[in-house]
Every structure is written in structure tokens, then in C-alpha cells.
Structure 1
Amino acid sequence: MADNYYITDDKILHHIPFHVDYEGPANTPAYFNITKKNSECDIKSSFRGRALVGTKVNIPEDYKGVLITLPAEEANSTDMIWSELDDTELENTKYIPCSLKSKLIQDVTYWVEWGHDAAPSTQNEAISSLGWLEIAKIVSSYHV
């Protein structure tokens, strides 16, 4: 299952846990509407009839999140790189080509992580990855 990131009109980054197999312009605002906030933590929505529950995830204070984009010519070459990989290689690949031509879209202080039918837990891959930042900080401060 592939993951997608989406920015709403209010400039909030959303990480949705699925991939729509379609190439072309997407009318995402017509299909992804945040309908109700239960509390500060959980947000309810749906996408094409699938129930979603989201939670706000903050970027740690010592770090800065940024959202970048590739120029069109590099985005096309990225598609060619992905098409040369078989399914197993693609699932195990976390590498995204990037260059000096990449453009900063916006800074990110938090994102909304979405789960199917229930809020994502701390076992969620994106949320648990933040724990590695703290581990790296501790390890790098250790001197023999």
C-alpha cells in the first residue's frame, strides 16, 4: 500500500494511508473533506466513502519540517526510475531523487496523520519515526 501526502487549501499537510491509482489532475477537495473534530486530537473525515480518523503530529522543536517539489522534468524522470523497479523493490524503496533544482513549497510544523476507521497509534510508521530523532540525538551526544 503506497502513501500519499496532500496539502489542503488552509496549507495543512495531510498523510493519507492509501494510493489512488490514477494519473492526472485530482479534484481532491471534492473527495477529501474534514467534517468533524471530536477533540484536539482526533479529526474525522472520509475519502471516497472510506472512514478516516486523523491526529495532529508535531515536528519536534529542534527540527524543521519542509515540503519540497521537483521541477517537472525531474518529476518525469522519477517516474521512469520507479517504472524500472519491480513490485518488491518498489515496496522496499524509501529513496526519492532530489536535486538542487528542488523548490521549497512551505515550512511544516505539524501534519495530520490519518488512519482507516481509527486514529493512528504510536505504532504508525510515520509517527514512530519521530522517536528515532530522539535516539539519534542521544547516540550522537555519547562520547567514548
Structure 2
Amino acid sequence: MSHPRIHLLPCRIGYSGPAKVDQYFVVTPRPSTDHPASSTAEWESSFRGRALRGRTVQLPPGYKGTVYAHPTEGDDTSSGPDLSRPTRIFEEFVVWGHDQVDPVTHPAINLSRWIEVAEALHNDDFPDTDGPLTR
């Protein structure tokens, strides 16, 4: 089983640039603690000596994530970063936590719920009403 290459870590890293992530961030699969037969992959790793547990998050059907690179030193940034060309497109990523990733409260895992809310808010198929909305 190969792990996704996009990671959401529970920390801020004061570095922006190339890194040998595959060499230093070793990720191993672990059995799911919530549902042993679950298709949701769980992972173990460590970062700067701290144990991490991760969970794969699939983007809902029809959605893709996009990564854009910030300009590096020496790039012509007079017109700002070139946000027209993504550096990576993904359909899944791993959310990491220190002890665990709470599948109930973590916003990245509940992404599909937020998408459902956004789609409902922007849905043009609401029935027409002639009066005020009532409960």
C-alpha cells in the first residue's frame, strides 16, 4: 500500500523549498483503530522526535486539490506568483495528529460535510416562495 504524497502536519515549518521528504519522513501503515475493516488508511511516522498518527482523506467525487508553489529567490516576482499553473493536483491527502486524528472533529476529515453545506447554499433549485420563509 503506498501512501499519498500530500501531508497536512500539525505544525508550522519555517522553511519553503525542496526537501528530501521521502528520505526523512518515513511513513508506515497501521491497522485502523476505529473500524478494522475500514478502507480509510491510517499511518504512523515521527517528525522531529514526536510520534505522529495519520489518516488518509479522500476528496469527494468530482473534487481535486491543487498545490501552487510560492516564488523562490531569484524568480521574477514583479507581477506576483504565477497562480495559473499548479505544481501538483491530488485527490487524497494524509492528515496528521500527535496522538491521533479525531475523525469526528477534525475539519479536514469533515471536508465532505462542508462541501455539502456549500453546495446547498449555492443551489439554484430551491422552490420559489411568494412569502417569507417559515419554520
TM range, smaller chain: 0.5 to 0.7
Q: Secondary structure at the match of 1:117?
A: coil
1:22 and 1:140 mapped to 2: Cα distance? 38
1:126 lines up with 2:119 in the alignment: no
CA contact (8 A) 1:38 1:44 kept: no
Q: TM-score, normalised by structure 1?
A: 0.62
* 114-123 vs 18-27, which moves further: 18-27
Structure 1: gaps spanning 5 or more residues: 1-9, 78-97
Deviates more, 1:19-28 or 1:105-114: 19-28
Q: Corresponding residue for 2:27?
A: 34
Residue equivalent to 1:91: none
Alignment size in residue pairs: 114
Cα deviation, 1:65-110, whole Å, max 9, x if unaligned, reads 222223336x997xxxxxxxxxxxxxxxxxxxx75x2231122111
Tell me how far apart the structure 2 counterparts of residues 27 and 107 of structure 1 sit (CA, whole Å): 20
Give how far 1:21 is off. 3.8
Out of 88, 93, 97, the position equivalent to 1:115 is 97
In the other structure, the counterpart of 1:47 is 47
Secondary structure, in 3 states, of the residue corresponding to 2:13? coil
| CA deviation profile, 1:15-55 (whole Å, cap 9, x unmatched) | 11112345776454454211343245311111121111111
Alignment partner, residue 86 of structure 1: none
**CA root-mean-square deviation:** 3.1
Q: Which runs of 5+ in 2 are unaligned?
A: 33-38, 129-135
Partners in 2 of 1:23 and 1:70 — Cα distance?
Answer: 8
**Aligned equivalents of 2:103 and 2:110: distance in 1?**
9
State the partner residue of 2:72.
Answer: 72
Task: Output the CA distance in 1 between the equivalents of 2:19 and 2:25.
Answer: 11
Partners of 1:20 and 1:36 in 2: CA distance? 24
SS in 2 for 1:104: coil
Deviation, structure 1 residue 124? 1.3
Give the structure with the higher percent strand. 1
Q: Does 1:137 align with 2:130?
A: no
- Residue identity in the other structure for 2:61: E
Amino acid aligned to 2:88: Q
TM-score computed with the length of structure 2 as normaliser? 0.65
Residues 4 and 92 of structure 2 are in contact (CA less than 8 Å); yes or no, is this contact kept in structure 1? no
